[in-house]
A and B are shown apart, each in its own frame.
Chain A
Amino acid sequence: MSDAAVITDIPLVRTFPVRPFRHTGAVLLVGPLVLFMVVFYALPVLAMLARSVTEPSLSLANFTRLAHDSVFLHVFGTTLRTAVAVTVGTLLLGYPVALAMSRMRPNAAKLVLVIVLLPFWTSILVRSYAWMVLLGRHGLINEALLAAGVLDTPLRLLNTPIAVHVAMIHIMLPYMILPLSSVLRQIDAALPRAAASLGATQWGVFRQVVLPLSMPGVVAGTLLVFVLSLGFYITPALVGGPRDLMLSQLIAQQVDLLNWSYAACLSATLLAATLLLLALCQMVPGVRGAFRLGVR
């Protein structure tokens, strides 16, 4: 066919001729932000990280100490476990909401979006205290379960890992729902229909078409929630149990002890773990697309 012959000439990857103007323009546009980030963010962070190897003397002693530090290992484990639990929780709760939003009429979707974003407008502290009130043994949840006859004695919810997970999932949900619904909304509505017409059941349509096409959103949301969860501080301190110490809390404690090099060392480890995770995600096929959203 004639068009087949013509089309093979079209390059699969569009390349643009490099013109000097494009570069100058780009540098002028991005330059101020880059400069700002370097001076006010990158340099201070580097200076802080440098302490981890320069104090008290130039060595990796701080890091070798970490490897044998049972407190660090425990706290690092708690931090990772909490971040994983919160990420999985937000994904499981957030995906159906995002999916429903993508299928709603625009006005209804806007309303849901506002409800999803509502927690954003309240301070993280107020939300954490609200969970203290809700999860307490004389709090709303226990009182309701007692009144309903489900329980005889109140459950211990507050000051447990459950409380940390619940409160953090609540706080993190918007970070999962927003990228997910943005990606889901971009999926051509004809695709699920096409799949159904081709014999796919509702579950088949979801698993074979909607889910794979929403992976960029899943990855973006997962990374966002996971990385933010690694650095959580206030919520675990307020609603967590005695053993729910997160890395950020340990860092704050060490800063207060004027133990800056050790704190820097902990921060470097947290940063390294985060970067490692991002790098690993880049290697998963199909995930690179998550970082190209909106470019296509």
Chain B
Amino acid sequence: MTKRNDFLSRRHLLALGAAGAMTPFAAYRALAQGVPLPEIPPIPETLKGTGELRIAGYGGTGQDAERTAYFQPFEKMSGIKVRDFAGADLNKVKAMVDTGNVEWDVVQLSQGSVKNLMKHGDYFEKIDYELVDTANIDAVYRSEYAIDMLVWSEVMAYRTDAFKGAVPVGWADFWDVKKFPGDRSLDGAGPGNPELEFAVMAAGVAPDKVYPIDIDKAFASYDKIKASVVKWWETGAVPVQMLTDKEVVLTSVWNGRMAALQAAGVPAAISWDQGLLKRDAWAVPKNSPNKANAMKFIAFSTMAVPQARVSSLIPYGSVNSKSAAFVAPKQLALLPSSPDIKSRLVPYDYSWWSEHRDEVVARWNKWILA
């Protein structure tokens, strides 16, 4: 359901970085070099074990960061051999469990997609919260079959050279084509979801009253901006490219992409207010042969220091409230999980989407083609 990365890696979009068409990505890679990483303190015996563990992620730079941050340390400290794969995908999990051929022990997904699949049957193992540092992990990050492990944000971004110094704040400004003239782009309903939250906030709904989303209100709000949206994007590389090319002046983006864009010198900025706080989560496919090791790894990777190590490498936040102390202040300022940013964001409600996704997408398809 939150498809920040998986759509990307599945279609090998990351290859673009290497091909040079996406300069931001090249810069993004450079960001991860030579950063001092905090040392992980010794771990309890309960997290140690034998045998192996197979982890599926979304590939690309993100998985490189995960590998350095906690795959390799986990292997060293727990004695459990880790093998990681790219191409994490909900449909593959379904096929693996259906055929009894479970090749992944831990999969990077989202709470929403895990909930979706659980509606079709018993596809995941319950997370063993006995091992997890629950004292420092928000309840919103925890659910029965998935635990968040990477915090990111879907935010508004704009060309700083487009509005003579005026700064758009909140979605009402995004919707205001008189005050902020120019073309826009927003999330469409490809493999991901349209962000109805933005539409209702633009229509005046308070950020803490977004859920449950008034779908009619959202589409009525979309009607007002439709003419100015030149692209309903399906993959995170597109809004970044269009912002770079000045094809749009305002867009929704994944926050991680913006740091790279700014590093590349594009006059663009994030407007954090009323952004959505989204997360990737770990889940364990049903009947994973290394279920015990999977639970140990999940507990390990969500500890304060391993989480801080990821945040130091890429501008993605931590689920562990103790992580902030281990991240350099300059990097912390970029993270959606840093206290003064997090407070301006709306936590994405994966449960609501899990219930309403089919309905919204069906309606979206009709609306966009009308």
Contact = CB atoms under 8 A, between A and B. Distances in A.
A257 interface: yes
B137 to A, nearest CB: 28
B128 interface: no
A130 interface: yes
B245 A133 contact: yes
In order of increasing CB-CB distance, the 8 nearest A-B pairs are: A129-B21, A71-B365, A256-B191, A136-B245, A126-B19, A74-B369, A136-B247, A138-B246
Contacts of B3: 256
Contacts of A249: 190, 234
B366 A257 contact: no
B245 A238 contact: no
Contacts of B91: 255-256, 258, 260
Given A237-B234, A258-B91, A253 B15 contact: no
B357 interface: yes
B90 A258 contact: yes
Contact of A125 (B15, B94, B226): B15
B247 A158 contact: yes
Interface residues of B, number: 41
Given A70-B366, A253-B191, A138 B16 contact: no
Contact of B361 (A123, A130, A136, A253): A253
B238 A138 contact: no
Contacts of A256: 3, 90-91, 191
B11 A234 contact: yes
A159 interface: yes
Contacts of B242: 132, 136
Contacts of A234: 11
A238 B12 CA distance: 14
A138 to B, nearest CB: 5
A27 interface: no
A75 interface: yes
Interface in A49-93: 70-71, 74-75
Interface in A235-259: 237-238, 241-243, 245, 249-250, 252-253, 255-259
A250 B246 CA distance: 29
A237 B368 CA distance: 14
A185 interface: no
B88 to A, nearest CB: 13
Contacts of B235: 237-238
Interface in B227-248: 229-232, 234-235, 237-238, 241-242, 245-247
B191 A252 contact: yes
Nearest to A240: B231
Interface string B10-38: 01110110010110000000000000000
B178 to A, nearest CB: 20
A252 B7 CA distance: 10
A129 B19 CA distance: 11
Contact of B232 (A70, A136, A242, A255): A242
Given A158-B247, A242-B229, 11 more contacts: A70-B366, A71-B369, A133-B241, A136-B245, A136-B246, A139-B245, A241-B231, A242-B231, A253-B365, A257-B116, A260-B91
Contacts of B245: 132-133, 136, 138-139
Given A74-B369, A243-B368, A125 B16 contact: yes
A257 B357 contact: yes
B266 interface: no
Nearest to A263: B91
B120 A258 contact: yes
Contacts of B234: 237, 249
Contacts of B191: 252-253, 256
A238 B189 contact: no
Interface residues of A, number: 35
B341 interface: no
Contact of A257 (B11, B12, B188, B358): B358
A137 interface: yes
Contacts of B369: 70-71, 74-75, 243, 245
A242 B194 CA distance: 13
A88 B91 CA distance: 37
A245 B11 contact: no
Interface string A89-131: 0000000000000000000000000000000000101100110
B213 interface: no
B182 to A, nearest CB: 11
Nearest to B7: A256
Contacts of A260: 91
A258 B94 contact: yes
B117 interface: yes
Nearest to A256: B191
A256 B92 CA distance: 11
A123 B231 contact: no
A126 B234 CA distance: 16
A175 B157 CA distance: 40
A159 to B, nearest CB: 5
A129 B90 contact: no
A137 B189 CA distance: 25
A146 B235 CA distance: 30
B231 A159 contact: yes
A230 B247 CA distance: 28
A99 to B, nearest CB: 33
B114 to A, nearest CB: 12
Contacts of B362: 71
A122 to B, nearest CB: 8
Contacts of A129: 16, 21-22, 237, 241
B190 A258 contact: no
Given A126-B16, A136-B247, A258 B117 contact: yes
A252 B90 contact: no
A159 B21 CA distance: 18
Contacts of B365: 71, 245, 250, 253
Nearest to B117: A258
9 contacts: A125-B15, A129-B237, A136-B242, A136-B246, A249-B190, A249-B234, A253-B190, A257-B358, A259-B358
